[in-house]
Structure 1
Amino acid sequence: MTDLETLVVDRDGPVLTVTLSRPERKNALDPQMAAELLELFRGVPQDGEVRVVVITGAGDAFCSGADLGATADTAHALVRMRDIHRVAQALHDVPQPTIARINGVAAGAGLNIALGCDLTVASTEARFSEIFARRGLSTDFGGAWLLPRLVGLHRAKELALLAEILPASEAERLGLVNRVVPPDELDAVVDEWARRLAAGPPIALAQTKQMLNQSVESSWETMLAAEGTAQAVNFSTADTVEAMSAFFEKREPTFEGR
């Protein structure tokens, strides 16, 4: 990647951690961050060594949403939104499992970045809001697609239209996040989930992720056919052979993604 100004990217074996790093602006999403995220998300699928992507924020925030005070970008608003939605699509298209490590406020586009990940772990100090309506805006970064699928249509309307700020406990109750833990346990839980995912069969996990994402818009028959195709692919891989051998030998399998 080119030199990064708004992201910190760390690699620990198969786990890639991306830190949104504009702490002075609560990691608000500006055009530079959007461009860097787009390049990163588009590059991840080509990196065969990456098995898990963790997204988090620097300082005491995850991401406070779009930086409405950014003045450098003079493009028309519709052009800027197309850029933002390219980032949302690129995150959605990452085949590897993604985890949002939500350490603080996640609002607007920042919340929808988190919801666009496959798994979400939040600190008890995190706060959540589809804050757009308070700014005279409608939801973006995929929120209109994500929210109804996570919490149901009427709950989604409540979150988006009232734009309330929710504590972590309420976000967990509604199903916006998978797990809420004390701040001093956040790293341990995320690390353990990332380790388990990284040790899993990459091809099978990628296919499962893709099918689950497609399921809400597909028929029963379509998904049965997709499952059959995916399993046929899996049975042709060395990883499935390894899994079967490990089962009979009573040991943990070692998956290589081939």
Structure 2
Amino acid sequence: MTDDSVLLIEDVGNVRTLTLNRPHRKNAITNAMWAALRDTLHEVAFGGRIRAVVLTGAGGAFCSGADISDTAGMDEFPDPSRDMRAINETVLRLHDLQVPTIAKVDGVAAGAGWNLALGCDLVVATPESRFCQIFSRRALSLDCGGSWLLPKLAGLQQAKRLAFLADMISAEEAHALGLVTWIQPRDGIDTFVDDLAVRLASGPPTALAQTKALLNGGTDHTMREALAHEARAQTINLSGRDVLEAFAAFSEKRDPVFTGTWGPTG
């Protein structure tokens, strides 16, 4: 895509980088951006080639939330239910994506933007990053999965604090709350995330997909249910070639080459 696109897409090997591209608005997200994200996530889910996704923002900001620049003076919102259904479809595609996802955050991540980052499997931020659940300042409640993600990641009381007060917090505080996985300096975050994405993309795709699904649903299950889900997932893993490749590589003292394929090796 060209630099005129609201979403830049770059593939390097098996890694796809998605860049929210409205730097003049701190990447405030529009309906067109939601649609572009939804389409490319659908392509990743069913294309079978991409094995890791990086989500980031252009121009020194991640995403300042929903674009409200055109709402001043409005008497009502035309069809908020329709808009939320479309947004939720995109959020679910990100959450349910079988490949690992990384949010690379620099600058502000607010409202829907922060929850997009939290919807990724791992979050890497610069020390200059700032985070805010800005919704209550706009007379809104949490959306984009925030009501599900925040309590699971930070605990119920901290989730309520962040949502009720809508304070801006630092990357250091977000890390302490479990909302940022790593903090990396600005001059090193690109290399760190690139290396991390390649490492994830080199992993066993079926096993990583099964592990992600187990962990995403794990806190909603009883121990008995979790064991049953684990057994089903492990049966799938043991039916593929990657587990045989892993054992062979261990025996031969070499790095494994995972393909996510099935059937006999002969």
- Would you call these one fold, judging by a TM-score over 0.5? yes
Tell me if the contact between 1:4 and 1:36 (Cα under 8 Å) persists in the aligned partners. Answer: no
Distance in 1 (CA, whole Å) between partners of 2:83 and 2:221 is 31
Are residues 1:114 and 2:87 paired? no
Are residues 1:138 and 2:147 paired? no
Look up the match of 1:147: 150
What's the secondary structure of 1:61's corresponding residue? Answer: coil
Look up the match of 1:55: 55
Tell me if the contact between 1:37 and 1:87 (Cα under 8 Å) persists in the aligned partners. Answer: yes
Look up the match of 1:39: 39
Look up the match of 2:201: 198
Q: Give, as a single letter, the amino acid of the residue that structure 2 aligns with 1:180.
A: I
Encode CA deviations 1:84-138: one digit per residue, 9 max, x unaligned: 1111111111110000000111000000000000000001111000011111111
Encode CA deviations 1:171-202: one digit per residue, 9 max, x unaligned: 11111110011111111111111011011000
Look up the match of 2:65: 65
Query: How much identity, in percent, do the aligned residues show?
Result: 51
| Contiguous gaps of at least 5 residues in structure 1 | none
Look up the match of 1:125: 128
Count of aligned pairs: 255
Look up the match of 2:19: 19
Choose which of 184, 188, 192 in structure 1 pairs with 2:187. 184
Distance in 1 (CA, whole Å) between partners of 2:242 and 2:201 is 13
Q: CA deviation at 1:4?
A: 7.8
Q: CA deviation at 1:5?
A: 2.8
Question: Once superposed, which parts of structure 1, at least 4 consecutive aligned residues long, lie more than 6 Å away?
Answer: none
Q: Which moved more, 1:36-45 or 1:10-19?
A: 36-45
Distance in 2 (CA, whole Å) between partners of 1:123 and 1:213 is 26
Look up the match of 1:239: 242
| Contiguous gaps of at least 5 residues in structure 2 | 72-76, 262-266
Q: Give, as a single letter, the amino acid of the residue that structure 1 aligns with 2:5.
A: E
Are residues 1:99 and 2:102 paired? yes
Distance in 2 (CA, whole Å) between partners of 1:85 and 1:46 is 19
RMSD of aligned C-alpha atoms? 1.4
TM-score w.r.t. length of structure 1? 0.96
TM-score w.r.t. length of structure 2? 0.93
Q: Give, as a single letter, the amino acid of the residue that structure 1 aligns with 2:47.
A: D
Distance in 1 (CA, whole Å) between partners of 2:23 and 2:70 is 15
Are residues 1:212 and 2:215 paired? yes
Distance in 1 (CA, whole Å) between partners of 2:85 and 2:125 is 29
